[in-house]
Amino acid sequence: MTSDAAAWEALRLSLWVACWATVLAVPLALWIAWILARRDFWGKSLLSALVHLPLVLPPVVTGYLLLMGFGRNAPLGRALDSIGITLAFHWSGAVLAAIIMGFPLMVRAMRLAIEAVDPKLEEAAATLGAPRIAIFGRVTLPLIAPGILAGAVMGFAKAMGEFGATITFVANIPGQTQTLPSAIWAALQIPGGENQAIAMVMMASVVAIGAVLISEALARRVAARIAGA
């Protein structure tokens, strides 16, 4: 494989992993954020701490814990293996690592958005006859959409840049588990690999800035509509 092809392959894999991680994590993060914002229950602080753990643990520790939990010889990994799902040293493992690492950021953004919704508006919707699911779909969801979007962009960006947990859990196999950050790191290990590294740094920067710009533009449109402009 030429170095150029390897770089594009790393970019493709990173986008693939980041998209899957975002799509899978958003509903789950929204659910957890809802529970943390609106419900009171025993063990709420514990759940909150667990969600935020990947933010404070060294990523390599998170990756190692994943390997211990989902490796081929670990009980959970073996169980998944028997139904045809392999995570360790596979791109789907990179998705899992990206979800876990980005989860605290997503939950935080969504929780803040949910807490900012005035429950009195939901009360008003109830007096107008709307069932709960309709109140969520027609009042709450549109109001927290900017927060969900912000969380999704954060999660996507984190997934694109995740390195420590990914390389520990799924290693650095070109074409299979070598994401953009892993490829940049690999290129920097080879004498004369700087040019290739710089090309990939540019790719990563373009994707990251693009994601932020798109989310900003969408958030502005929502804000402008509410302001009646």
Site residues for another protein per CB under 8 A: 120-121, 123-132, 134, 138-139, 142-143, 222, 225-228
Nearer to another protein, 43 or 228 (CB): 228
Q: How far is the CB of 62 from another protein (least distance, A)?
A: 38
Nearer to another protein, 9 or 122 (CB): 122
Q: How far is the CB of 83 from another protein (least distance, A)?
A: 42
Nearer to another protein, 50 or 128 (CB): 128
Q: What is the DSSP string of 22-87?
A: HHHHHHHHHHHHHHHHH---TTHHHHHHHHHHHHHS-HHHHHHHHHHHHSTTSHHHHHHHHTT---
Nearer to another protein, 37 or 222 (CB): 222
Q: How far is the CB of 41 from another protein (least distance, A)?
A: 21
CA gap 119, 178 in Å, rounded: 46
CA gap 122, 134 in Å, rounded: 10
Q: How far is the CB of 143 from another protein (least distance, A)?
A: 6
